[in-house]
Amino acid sequence: MIDRVGQVLGGRYRLLAPVGTGASATVYLADDVVLRRRVAVKVLHDGLADDSQFLKRFRAEAHNAAALNHPHIMAVHDWGQGDVPYLVTELLGGGSLRALLDTGHRLDVAQARQVGLEAARALEYAHKRGLVHRDIKPANLLFDDEGRLRIADFGLARALAEAAWTEPAGAVLGTARYASPEQAQGGSLDGRSDVYSLALVLIESVTGEVPFSADTTLGTLMARVDRPVPVPPQLGPLVPALAAAGVPDPADRPDATAFATLLMAAGDLGPAAPLPLAGTTTLGDAELDPREPTTLYVAERQLRADFEPEIMRAPPGTTTDGITIVSEGEAQPATRVLERGPGAKESRADRRRRAKAEAAAAAALAPSASDADLPAEVLHADSVRPPRRKWPWIVAAAVLVAILAGGAAAAYVATRPETTVLTSYAGRPAAEVQAELEARGLEVTQQQESSETVTEGLVIRQDPAADTKLTEGDAVTLVVSSGQPPVNLPDVGGNGVDQVTERLAAIGIKVGDVTKQYDETWPADIVLGYADGTPAVVPKQSTVGLQVSAGPKPRTIPSGLVGGTKEAVTAQLQGLGLKVAYAEDYSPDVAQGLVMATDPATGATVARDSTVTVTVSLGKQPVKIPQGIVGMSVSDATAALQDLGLSVSGVQGNPSKKVSGTTPAVGTEVKPGSSVTLVTK
């Protein structure tokens, strides 16, 4: 990889210092010279610049990644592919989880769950939009200054996977350590592959060891095929969640939503302690100020044209304020580093004043029109031998001085520029002030600055200040209000709507549309986040929408439960997040031990965690041998028992006599179809 410190990519991103290097890219701390902010720029390997297939995929994935707007996904500001492809992202000062672990620190269980929950929420958001990360690892889990997690490099892994170049030997091992079994086998991937990788990362963050990590890439990949991830006992309450995420078959593995639910089910672990963030760079601002050398692309020349019009008129090779114009044309040339020319410390106004002073001096020393009338001995006095008397020479010298002085004065009066005394332009429209000053021959530059009090488009202040005398060609800078400063939207997930409304109102943001959606984790009326498409930074007084939980999605009692076994029906209802209670009853149609009914019945809609009563059949209801057959004839008693669904197996005694009893005895309950023996006296 080429050291690109000091270069400017895309005409606006000045690379200050490398903060991380990998097999496929180097990440730089950079200045956005247009918006005047610090950013991170990931410059990809030079070999990728000639890979047309990669560049095509890179463009598509960069667009997809830039469209993601989630508090736990790194924001992508810009991308480009000049002489190298690059991505511009937000700058996170907390460093990566990889850097934290490399310091020897290990997370406790509560910290690991917090990291896992934030990552799972980000993955849930991306997976619902059809984006699979494919490269979840500690180096791609970054933190801001307050310890909030961001997932980086969405889409980049897929673009690199389709590139036609080869990484350095062994370079893929770092990613292979966290690859899912389906990645190892070259199978199709969905979001559950990211969940598997996240589980490995969480295990390493607590134990310091990655399960199945072998000495070779192939060994690492093949060790986890068809084998569940062994979760060490020191993960404590997180063991069930990580074991579920580490099963080899993705069909049996939870998705990101379910994985977050399992992490929450680990119980009360107490508040997670702040992470000992590794940080991004230890360099101070003085060490990051790359004043020499610098680079100017044609793109930057065009960007600066609104502020410095003469830049566009300057031919190639011209040095303006110490920056040399590189080339003409619309295309961005290859990156070049140019040393600043002499006079870089001299402003344009200083150069103009110096040039005018030199011109005035030259005019004063030049022969005037009246010189032609002077005697030759005066014009060439140094070549004439002086006479004996000195007074003629003195007179001639006096005449010459007077003439030269008059000529110089005339030249100065003729060339003296018009003088303008500045007034205070604060509070006036910038366009109006610029037109007025340019009409007086002054050069005007506008600089935008946000303001809490000055309306957009009005002048905040000026340089030079009021009462300064300027001459034609001098420069004036107007600092113009761009409106109220933008606001970084805070993370509002997990709070009530009223609480979020008050918090946003305190920073000048209003709550607009509130959209409710079902959520398996948060109860009803808890804020999930901002409406889709809401940027992370918005102008003050903006209105933003909220996504609010409607609670878990209602469950529908499924069909096919009646006639099933008690165990099977119980498992099916519990799988829907419902509780089960039991009852028993007789049924002429449903065999004993099978489910004969549910309450609520099939098709009914109930809330998650509701209780469903399952009635299990005791079989057909027993029949009581009636008392009334005593005293009947054998034939009448037989008919009466048959009407009850019983049969007569015989007569004990004289069949011509009256019935005196039965076996089983009269009044006994027996199953339908049972045999009864009649007893006579």
Mean pLDDT of 367-395: 39
- Nearest CA-CA partner of 675 in 625, 619, 633, 620: 625
* Alpha-carbon gap, residue 162 to 177, rounded angstroms: 20
Residue with tokens 């003469």: 310
Instruction: Indicate the pTM of the whole model.
Output: 0.45
**Could you tell me the two tokens for 431?**
């366009």
Kindly name the residue from 31, 32, 51, 135 that is annotated as catalytic: 135
pLDDT greater than 80 at residue 366: no
Please write the tens of the pLDDT for every residue from 425-435. Answer: 999 999 999 99
**Beta strands at 605-606 and 555-556: parallel, antiparallel or unpaired:** antiparallel
The answer to whether the CB of 585 falls within 8 A of the CB of 596 is yes
pLDDT range class, residue 294, cuts 50, 70, 90 = very low
The answer to whether the CB of 71 falls within 8 A of the CB of 126 is no
pLDDT range class, residue 313, cuts 50, 70, 90 = low
31-38 CB contacts, 8 Å cutoff, 24+ apart: 32/77, 32/88, 33/8, 33/300, 34/303, 38/91
**Beta strands at 659-663 and 675-680: parallel, antiparallel or unpaired:** antiparallel
pLDDT greater than 60 at residue 422: yes
* Alpha-carbon gap, residue 240 to 237, rounded angstroms: 7
- Length of the chain in terms of residues written: 681
pLDDT (0 to 100) of residue 415 = 47
Report the C-alpha dihedral over residues 314, 317, 319, 320, rounded to 10 degrees.
30
Q: What is the DSSP letter of 178?
A: T
pLDDT greater than 50 at residue 298: no
* Alpha-carbon gap, residue 401 to 399, rounded angstroms: 6
Q: Which residues contact 575 (CB under 8 A, 6 or more apart)?
A: none
Question: Does residue 135 carry a catalytic annotation?
Answer: yes
Please work out, in degrees rounded to the nearest 5, the angle formed at the alpha carbon of residue 173 by the alpha carbons of 248 and 230.
35
Domains and CATH numbers, the chain: 348-416 (no CATH), 419-481 (3.30.10.20), 486-549 (3.30.10.20), 555-617 (3.30.10.20), 623-680 (3.30.10.20)
pLDDT (0 to 100) of residue 384 = 36
* Alpha-carbon gap, residue 397 to 594, rounded angstroms: 135
pLDDT range class, residue 49, cuts 50, 70, 90 = low
Average pLDDT, the chain: 78
**Beta strands at 579-585 and 611-617: parallel, antiparallel or unpaired:** parallel
Please write the tens of the pLDDT for every residue from 215-247. Answer: 666 677 777 888 899 999 999 999 999 999 999
* Alpha-carbon gap, residue 70 to 125, rounded angstroms: 7
* Alpha-carbon gap, residue 230 to 242, rounded angstroms: 9
Mean pLDDT of 651-676: 91
* Alpha-carbon gap, residue 638 to 654, rounded angstroms: 15
